[in-house]
Structure 1
Amino acid sequence: MTVREHYKTNMRIALPVMIGQLGHTMVSVADSIMVGQLGTIELAAVALGNSLFAIFMVFGIGITSGITPLVAKADGMKSKHLQGVLLRHGFWVNLVASIVLFAIISFLTPVLYLLDQDPGVVPLAQPYLIILSGSIIPLMMFMTFKQFAEGLSDTKVAMVVIVGCNLVNVGLNYVFIFGKLGFEPMGLIGAGWATLIARILMFIVMWIYVRRANRFKMYNLRIRVTRFRKTVTMRLLQVGIPSGLQYIFEVSAFSLAAIFAGMISATALAAHQIAINIASVSYMAVTGLGAAATVRIGNQAGQRDFLNLKLAASTIFKMGIAWMALTGLIILIFKNQLAGFYSTDPDVLALAGKMLIVVVIFQLSDGIQAVGLGALRGFTDVKIPTYITFAAYWLFTLPLAFYLSQYTVLGAMGIWYALAAGLTVSAILLVSRFKRLLADFVH
């Protein structure tokens, strides 16, 4: 393949995933923008609820992601039977995992009262979080079929499903939050119900597609209770759990950063939510390139094709850098207008504007580390990257963020300086790890 052909293949696989990933984060964006019209306290409550839920959500998504590189590698080996086995085992593994995560979130909701937040925030955040937590089950089941299809380079249908169901979510937000079409205004709780209903619909549509599409009939994908093969189950978990932990270490750093901001004031927390929402748009899109890197590298590794593997990797890293540079420029130019969608509070907007300058600074590091994690997952290398993300975010970023925000004059801005430093450390270490594996692959 020529370099141009690699760019085209990367884009064909990545673009639908990028749009789909944007769809996931747009749920939080829509909730924040629409609830933000109710006031600063309500916006802070959404920030608190989403911050705790995001930790478990990304862990669940990480568990499901174990399917993609294994299916991609089996595709490179032309093993259709193994691909069907992987989906059937993945279905039951992810169903059990999602129920466990739902139970854990529900059990932990009273912890919100122990986080030293504004007294008006927690009573609003808790019922919202309880409803939102139920959506993790249909979300993980949707991701099961999405990850299987992506492993076979089929990314467009999942994109359409995500975008369509998120439009449903926005419509339901409008109806439930503000009380339209005969419904009583439900405020924050209405946003939670809208997300739950939209994610149930997402799962049902994707399940029907994979079960009935002609292109998947050869894989014997009938889902039934069957005797588990220990080796298959363990392989899915060996890739999925570390992948989930990688997501947790990064996202929990941002989630705990929200708690640190809430310990300062509701204004700081609301500003943090605006900045993190805007930053998450570019980040979630670039994780689509990371997912494409997993598929491309997993497939080329299965074929033992070093030259095309190297070209696939280099082109997709360049695409990630270009995307983050573009979005960084957009954020820099339109930061005030973007923040204005969320709030009219001048104190919140002023602080959010300063935070968005830091977002611009760490765009390249964020993109490189996101693609790096996907590329390493293509090699099914998840153990060392997990250690790297743990060290970068929990041993370095979080202590620094807590110290700068609580014990220096930097306040909430100290949180964002720490996040920028942690993302840079992570990017450097992950790229170094990938280069080492690439050299080993030759030999």
Structure 2
Amino acid sequence: MFFILKTMSWQSYRKEFTYNIQLAYPVILGMVGHTLIGIVDNIMVGRLGSTELAAVSLGNSLIFVAMSLGIGFSTALTPLIAQADASGDTQQIRTYFQHGWILCTLLGWLLFGLVVLSVPLLTLLEQPAEVLVLAEPFLIQVAFSLVPLIMYQAYKQFADGLSLTKYSMYAILLANVVHIILNYIFIYGWWIFPKMGIQGAALGTVLSRIAMLVFMHVLLFRQPQLRAYFSKFHFKNLQYRVAKQIVDLGIPSALQMLFEVVLFTAAIWLCGTLGKTSQAANQIALSLASLTFMFAMGLSVVSMIRVGNFKGMQDYRGLVRVARSVFLLAVLVEIVFALFFLLFHTDLPQLFLDLDNSSEWSNTLEVLTIASNLLIVAAFFQISDGIQVVVLGALRGLQDVKIPMYITFIAYWIVGFPLSFYLGKYTALGAVGVWIGLLAGLTFAAIFLYIRFHYLTKKLIQNTVM
């Protein structure tokens, strides 16, 4: 934080806060809503017992891996469309959107197939047998939700690139309403519908994401200023050059997100090897940390949009100003969340478990104790996590993706995971040790990604002056 503040004037960047917040709040609400789908599953399934909660955690761990590839790939559309929008190139916007939609659709089906084929791998992860029995059918069913989800991402990134961030918020809010209603009906049973347990949670997720996709398409298509981008679509108009441009940006972006998500997925697996209570506690802490992380993710999208716009205008001093204003805003927000976790680390985990279930009381007490300790560690990595994701968004806005890909790999898999593995498996810290490794990886990423951004923008400004 002090490194960033040293390079900026508070008065110079504070005036950007208002526009950044106006652009960010729909993205943040949309992403919070996106995360709430998983949190609602955890809360509603957690009422069934710690074994069911651990099973959903394990099944979703593979879904999150696949999801990270799809969402990461789709982010390539936003900076391309933002740059074309700043240049006033309507035809180029249409071209990027239509190519991106096709690529995301194909990727969604591919990821669905890969997840289904990977189900047997669950048996290699040394997870409790009673958890595996429930996790495997849950994973197969919920995997289909990847298809509408990745297709939706094409629409979302298109709208974000045009600075129209409210539409995805509306779509995800609708999806959450549908999801809560369907979860209640299918998990617990109602009227003619039988009690399905965690399989009902999977069905609710699939149907809510289909509703989200349909609503997003209708919402965008009905906007008069956007209808032109849906026209003149034909497969014969597809261009290898444009598809390659999106893929060249999309694959490194997907890998950046993959490296981080797989690190947290590995944390789920590591905690699972320590026992189902550690795994359930990890899922509770991860759900809460993911919720607050969505605020930084929303600001990351703003960073990507605004940097893409200023890049299109070739105003690099303005680019640095708006990017650093987003960085500072993210730091301030994450400090608030860090303090919140520290103050309520013993209270928040109680939201996820049935404290009145006497037959599960010993397990429940252990889960609560571990989860409260994990939230203390999570409080400290809020800041590092917030910095690394907003800087990564700015680098994507610059269309610089390859070097950041290497930085994130080193941060998470050379620094973070080995430390998590050692502290979790070979010390008395257990799950807390796993999370200390996560903190180390995120901090490394935050520092070196910012150094990369500073180097690139300084070079761009110098070349403009020359």
TM-score normalised over the length of structure 1: 0.98
* Structure 2 counterpart of 1:16, one-letter code: P
Judge which range, 208-217 or 344-353, deviates more: 208-217
* Structure 1 counterpart of 2:306, one-letter code: R
Q: For 1:5 and 1:205, how far apart are their aligned partners in 2?
A: 35
The residue aligned with 2:370 is 351
Q: For 1:109 and 1:20, how far apart are their aligned partners in 2?
A: 30
The residue aligned with 2:435 is 416
Correspondence 1:358-377 to 2 at 5 A: 358-377=377-396
What's the % identity of the aligned pairs? Answer: 40
The residue aligned with 2:229 is 219
**How many positions carry a matched residue from both structures?**
443
Q: For 1:372 and 1:132, how far apart are their aligned partners in 2?
A: 32
CA shift, 1:182, in A, is 2.4
CA shift, 1:125, in A, is 0.7
Q: For 1:226 and 1:188, how far apart are their aligned partners in 2?
A: 44
- Would the aligned equivalents of 2:85 and 2:309 in 1 still touch at CA under 8 Å? yes
Q: For 1:413 and 1:4, how far apart are their aligned partners in 2?
A: 37
Residue by residue, what CA displacement relative to the aligned partner does 1:410-440 show, whole Å, maximum 9, x if unpaired?
2221101100111100100110001011101
3-state SS of 2:130 partner: coil
Q: For 1:414 and 1:3, how far apart are their aligned partners in 2?
A: 38
Q: For 1:57 and 1:291, how far apart are their aligned partners in 2?
A: 17
Q: For 1:366 and 1:4, how far apart are their aligned partners in 2?
A: 22
- 2:119 is the counterpart of 1:109: yes
Identify which of 91, 99, 102 aligns with 1:89: 99
Q: For 2:430 and 2:31, how far apart are their aligned partners in 1?
A: 32
Identify which of 107, 127, 134 aligns with 2:137: 127
Q: For 1:122 and 1:57, how far apart are their aligned partners in 2?
A: 21
Q: For 1:274 and 1:302, how far apart are their aligned partners in 2?
A: 42
- Would the aligned equivalents of 2:97 and 2:229 in 1 still touch at CA under 8 Å? no
CA shift, 1:295, in A, is 0.2
3-state SS of 1:109 partner: helix
Identify which of 265, 281, 295 aligns with 1:285: 295
The residue aligned with 1:379 is 398
Unaligned runs of 5+ in 2: 1-10, 356-363
Q: Structure 1 residues 81, 260: closer, same or farther in 2, change over 3 A?
A: same
CA shift, 1:309, in A, is 1.0
CA shift, 1:240, in A, is 1.1
- Would the aligned equivalents of 2:116 and 2:143 in 1 still touch at CA under 8 Å? yes
* Structure 1 counterpart of 2:401, one-letter code: V
Residue by residue, what CA displacement relative to the aligned partner does 1:345-376 show, whole Å, maximum 9, x if unpaired?
11000000000000001111010001011010
- Would the aligned equivalents of 2:377 and 2:439 in 1 still touch at CA under 8 Å? yes
- Would the aligned equivalents of 1:87 and 1:221 in 2 still touch at CA under 8 Å? no
- Would the aligned equivalents of 1:88 and 1:224 in 2 still touch at CA under 8 Å? no
Q: For 1:31 and 1:218, how far apart are their aligned partners in 2?
A: 38
CA shift, 1:5, in A, is 4.9
The residue aligned with 1:317 is 327
Q: For 2:231 and 2:394, how far apart are their aligned partners in 1?
A: 27
* Structure 1 counterpart of 2:385, one-letter code: D
- 2:410 is the counterpart of 1:391: yes
- Would the aligned equivalents of 2:221 and 2:230 in 1 still touch at CA under 8 Å? no
Residue by residue, what CA displacement relative to the aligned partner does 1:194-249 show, whole Å, maximum 9, x if unpaired?
01001001111111222221121343545443342111101111111111111110
Identify which of 436, 439, 442 aligns with 2:458: 439
Q: Structure 1 residues 272, 281: closer, same or farther in 2, change over 3 A?
A: same
3-state SS of 1:362 partner: helix
3-state SS of 2:235 partner: coil
* Structure 1 counterpart of 2:422, one-letter code: Y
Unaligned runs of 5+ in 1: none
TM-score normalised over the length of structure 2: 0.93
- Would the aligned equivalents of 1:88 and 1:222 in 2 still touch at CA under 8 Å? no
Q: For 2:333 and 2:157, how far apart are their aligned partners in 1?
A: 23
3-state SS of 1:252 partner: helix
- 2:76 is the counterpart of 1:57: no
Q: Structure 1 residues 226, 211: closer, same or farther in 2, change over 3 A?
A: farther
CA shift, 1:311, in A, is 1.4
CA shift, 1:181, in A, is 3.0
CA shift, 1:270, in A, is 0.5
- 2:50 is the counterpart of 1:31: no
Q: For 1:222 and 1:108, how far apart are their aligned partners in 2?
A: 39
Identify which of 149, 174, 179 aligns with 2:189: 179
CA shift, 1:108, in A, is 0.3
Q: For 2:428 and 2:366, how far apart are their aligned partners in 1?
A: 17
CA shift, 1:3, in A, is 4.3
Q: For 2:64 and 2:233, how far apart are their aligned partners in 1?
A: 29
The residue aligned with 1:257 is 267
3-state SS of 1:297 partner: helix
CA shift, 1:6, in A, is 2.1
Identify which of 272, 278, 281 aligns with 2:282: 272
Q: For 1:20 and 1:339, how far apart are their aligned partners in 2?
A: 24
The residue aligned with 1:7 is 17
Q: Structure 1 residues 3, 392: closer, same or farther in 2, change over 3 A?
A: closer
Identify which of 81, 85, 88 aligns with 1:71: 81
- Would the aligned equivalents of 1:88 and 1:221 in 2 still touch at CA under 8 Å? no
3-state SS of 1:121 partner: helix
Q: For 1:54 and 1:174, how far apart are their aligned partners in 2?
A: 23
Q: For 2:232 and 2:215, how far apart are their aligned partners in 1?
A: 16
Q: For 2:242 and 2:125, how far apart are their aligned partners in 1?
A: 40
The residue aligned with 1:299 is 309
- 2:163 is the counterpart of 1:138: no
Residue by residue, what CA displacement relative to the aligned partner does 1:384-416 show, whole Å, maximum 9, x if unpaired?
111011111112211211111111222221101
Q: For 2:429 and 2:81, how far apart are their aligned partners in 1?
A: 47
Q: For 1:226 and 1:136, how far apart are their aligned partners in 2?
A: 27
* Structure 2 counterpart of 1:363, one-letter code: Q
Q: For 2:159 and 2:91, how far apart are their aligned partners in 1?
A: 15
- Would the aligned equivalents of 1:287 and 1:371 in 2 still touch at CA under 8 Å? yes
Judge which range, 204-213 or 359-368, deviates more: 204-213
- 2:212 is the counterpart of 1:202: yes
The residue aligned with 2:254 is 244
